[in-house]
Structure 1
Amino acid sequence: MRLICLADTHNLHHEIPIPEGDILIHAGDCTDGGTWNETRDFLNWFSSQPHKYKILVPGNHDFFFQKKENLEKIPKNIHLLIDRGMEIEGKSFWGSPMIPGKAGWAFNRERGAEIRTHWDLIPKNTDILITHTPPYGILDEIGSGIKLGCKELAEKVKKVQPKLHLFGHIHHSAGQTSYLGTKFYNLSLLDERFRIMHDPLNLVL
Structure 2
Amino acid sequence: MKILAFSDLHAAPSRAQALVDAAQEADLVLGAGDFCNHRGGLAEALALLDGITAPRVFVPGNHESAQELAAVAKPGVTVLHGAGCEVGGLRIFGLGYGVPVTPFGDWSCDMTEEMAETKLAACAEADILLLHSPPKGLGDVTGQGQSVGSVAIRDAITRLQPRLALCGHIHDSWGIRGRIGETELVNLGPVPNWFHLE
Distance in 2, Cα, partners of 1:177 & 1:114: 25
Distance in 1, Cα, partners of 2:135 & 2:12: 26
Q: Which segments of 5 or more consecutive residues in structure 2 lack a partner in the other structure?
A: none
Q: Which segments of 5 or more consecutive residues in structure 1 lack a partner in the other structure?
A: 190-198
Amino acid at match of 2:58: L
1:58 Cα offset (Å)? 1.0
RMSD: 1.8
Q: Give yes or no for contact 1:47–1:77 (8 Å, CA) kept in 2.
A: no
Distance in 1, Cα, partners of 2:120 & 2:173: 22
1:107 Cα offset (Å)? 3.2
Deviation larger for 10-19 or 154-163: 10-19
After the TM superposition, list the runs of 4 or more consecutive aligned residues in structure 1 that deviate by more than 3 angstroms.
13-16, 70-73
2:42 to 39, 49, 69: 39
1:107 to 103, 106, 109: 109
Q: Tell me whether 1:27 sits opposite 2:32 in the alignment.
A: yes
**Structure 2 length-normalised TM:** 0.87
Identity of aligned residues (%): 26
| SS of structure 2 residue aligned to 1:46 | coil
1:56 to 50, 55, 58: 58
1:131 Cα offset (Å)? 0.7
Which residue number corresponds to residue 136 of structure 2?
136
* Change in CA separation of 1:45 and 1:129 when aligned onto 2, cut-off 3 Å: same
Which residue number corresponds to residue 167 of structure 1?
167
1:74 Cα offset (Å)? 2.3
Distance in 2, Cα, partners of 1:13 & 1:4: 18
Q: Give yes or no for contact 1:66–1:106 (8 Å, CA) kept in 2.
A: no
Amino acid at match of 2:192: P
Amino acid at match of 1:188: G
| SS of structure 2 residue aligned to 1:109 | coil
Q: What are the superposed Cα offsets for residues 90-125 of structure 1, whole Å, 9 maximum, x if unpaired? A: 1100111132116435431223x333212212x232
Amino acid at match of 1:168: G
Amino acid at match of 1:85: G
Q: Give yes or no for contact 2:38–2:108 (8 Å, CA) kept in 1.
A: no
Q: Give yes or no for contact 1:5–1:24 (8 Å, CA) kept in 2.
A: yes
* Change in CA separation of 1:66 and 1:30 when aligned onto 2, cut-off 3 Å: same
